[in-house]
Amino acid sequence: MHYSRTLSVLVPVMSILLAAGTDPAPGGTRRHDVADSEYTSLAAETAYDAVGMISTSSILASGVLVAENYVLTAAHVGEVGGSMTFALPSGGYVRAWEVIHPGWTGDLADGTDLALIRLDTLVLDELPAELYTEADEVGQTGVLVGFGRTGTGLDGATEPAGTKRAGENVWDLSGASFGDSDDLLLADFDNPSRSRDNWFGRPRAISLEYCIAPGDSGGGMFLDDGGVQKLAGVVSFIAWRDSEGDSDYGDAMGVVRISRHLDWLTTGLSAAYTMTWVGVSGGFNIAENWQTTFGGQTVNSVPGSLDTVRFDAIGSHVVTWPAADLANTRLSIVAGDVTLDLSGQTYALTGTGLSQPSLVVGEAGQSGQALTILNGTLSTQHAFLGPDVGSDVSMTVGAGATWNAGGSVYVGGTDGSSGGTARLIVDDAEVNIAGELVVWSGGVLELANGIVDVSYLTLAGGTLSGTGTVIGDVVVIAGVISPGGDFGEGETVTDSVYYWPVGVSATPEPASVTVLCMGAVVLLRRRRTGRGIRRGSVPASRCDPVGHPEEP
């Protein structure tokens, strides 16, 4: 085949003689006896919404959305320089950077004609395509989708590119049948009226027989998998035996098999970056508000679900949410007073490790960092507020907000030790903590008509104050319940020095408030009867090794 690679959809730039004739990423020609509307209608089906048009000042091509911020296309498309836009019905998305397959040398026969395009903003209105992972593509009928030039099999691609079309073909062979890479799938464009136009495979045109043409480069080939159309190939080239590769009857086409490049795709799509807020105030899904470094260059790109978000600029920053739930791995407030107005949406921070908690306020040991959550749900795992000595921070869960922590929360320290000064304010809001809430000596849990539902609230020298509701067991190692009394390790605690904060209600279900110190243990069990608290004392000798008392 003779392969020729085009960087423009119209102008062949380079050719390498291998055996018959190819043009990279050429558009979509149809049967001469089937209306074009049949092909455009197929392309309009929701199964192919992830296929969009790629354009620069010099080319028009195609690509497939495979993540909220990544497009998969051909390498000979991705390597084109200049500003690049990926267009979907929801709008245009600008390239932030590209990752070219490391095996790509420009030789189409190698089956490495792949590139991932990182978008500068998140695509929130179209779903990414699912990937076909099986290696059973040969013999199946696939759907090809792209924005290439069109025409009929009689005359080839004679009409302009830019309209989304889709058609079908049977994948007859892998590239190995011609001595090329097994990472390729090959199909020919059969003439329904003349079988001698057949090149290989069965000489029978199917109902929506189709051939790619200039502009389809990087488009998708989809196979059915249990009723779901999944991306099984990326359009790479056409091949011909006659005088020109114009996508007429008898020409053939090649796509790169997804199933052969899953490791590379997984690595590229799972790469994580730290995105730093550089705006003053504004929308989360605005590229100019974020910066990171890629390939030694500073680029703008909105954080994706695997990325870390960092605020390190002094001043007040109000970040508004798009009409969609968002996720990142980690949020770090290094400097500034940051307000996240979630606009009724959920913001999930998914990092699970204590060594890299999903939420950190005051990471750099500076002072004055603040985080406020409004009008939505914050979902985290572990969280450190004021982890470093010298930090002075606050976090407010405010109006219309809920904070769901799947791990533990540490106020004024970390899981291992006390740190700086930190205040967690629950202001007419709700905080649900699946693990432990530890308030270190520099920490304050302040309730302002808020609700905290926690497995264990441990005052490790910290303060519980204000008016609201705590649901769960409260363990006081040392600290202050205000209004109430001070507790210090080494003191003998009696029930006369303990008062539940004014306005703080007991949970309707049985729960305990435990005060631990060197001299004695006082167990206060809240009940529904009387004032809701039954006082009693337990000798310190009955404490278990971790400091929790046995039941009296």
- Residue 297 contacts by C-beta under 8 Å, 6 or more apart in sequence? 97
Last residue within a domain, chosen from 266, 295, 322:
266
pLDDT tens-digit series, residues 419-464:
999 999 999 999 999 999 999 999 999 999 899 999 888 888 898 8
> Can you tell me which residue has the tokens 């405010």?
398
Residues 388 and 335 in one domain: yes
Give dist(CA 377, CA 372) in Å, integer: 12
- Domain tally for the chain? 2
Residues 289 and 237 in one domain: no
Q: What is the identity of the amino acid at 210?
A: Y
Residues 333 and 421 in one domain: yes
Position 168 in a domain? yes
pTM for this model (two decimals): 0.80
27-36 per-residue burial string, b: 16 or more CB within 10 A, e: under 16: bbbbbeebee
CATH number at residue 159: 2.40.10.10
Position 247 in a domain? yes
Residues 294 and 350 in one domain: yes
Residues 210 and 228 in one domain: yes
Extract the runs of DSSP E, i.e. beta strands, from 421-442: 421-427, 430-440
- The first and second tokens of residue 121, run together, are 């903003």
Extract the residue ranges of the chain whose pLDDT is less than 70. 1-28, 30, 153-160, 196, 241-243, 245-246, 365, 482-552
- The first and second tokens of residue 400, run together, are 């219309």
Report phi then psi at 155, rounded to 5: -110, -15
Which pairs from 351-357 meet CB under 8 Å and 24+ separation? 351/308, 351/381, 352/381, 352/382, 352/407, 353/382, 354/382, 354/407, 354/414, 354/415, 356/330, 357/330, 357/381, 357/382, 357/383, 357/384, 357/407
pLDDT tens-digit series, residues 253-297:
899 999 999 999 999 999 999 999 999 999 999 999 999 999 889
pLDDT tens-digit series, residues 510-545:
334 444 332 233 333 333 233 333 333 333 333 333
Last residue within a domain, chosen from 266, 294, 329:
266
- What is the pLDDT at residue 140? 96
Distances (CA, A) of 246 to 17, 151, 152: 18, 10, 10
Distance separating the N- and C-terminal Cα atoms of the chain: 87
Percent of the chain clearing pLDDT 70 (strictly above): 78
Strand 173-174, strand 184-188: pairing: antiparallel
Position 69 in a domain? no
- The first and second tokens of residue 498, run together, are 């303990």
- 407: closest CA among 347, 355, 442, 364? 355
Cβ neighbours, 10 Å, residue 489: 13
> Can you tell me which residue has the tokens 């520099």?
442
Distances (CA, A) of 169 to 61, 152, 173: 20, 15, 12
Q: What is the CA radius of gyration of the chain?
A: 31
Give dist(CA 349, CA 352) in Å, integer: 9
Residues 522 and 462 in one domain: yes
Position 200 in a domain? yes
Last residue within a domain, chosen from 209, 240, 266:
266
Residues 397 and 515 in one domain: yes
Domain that holds residue 458: 272-542
Cβ neighbours, 10 Å, residue 162: 15
Position 207 in a domain? yes
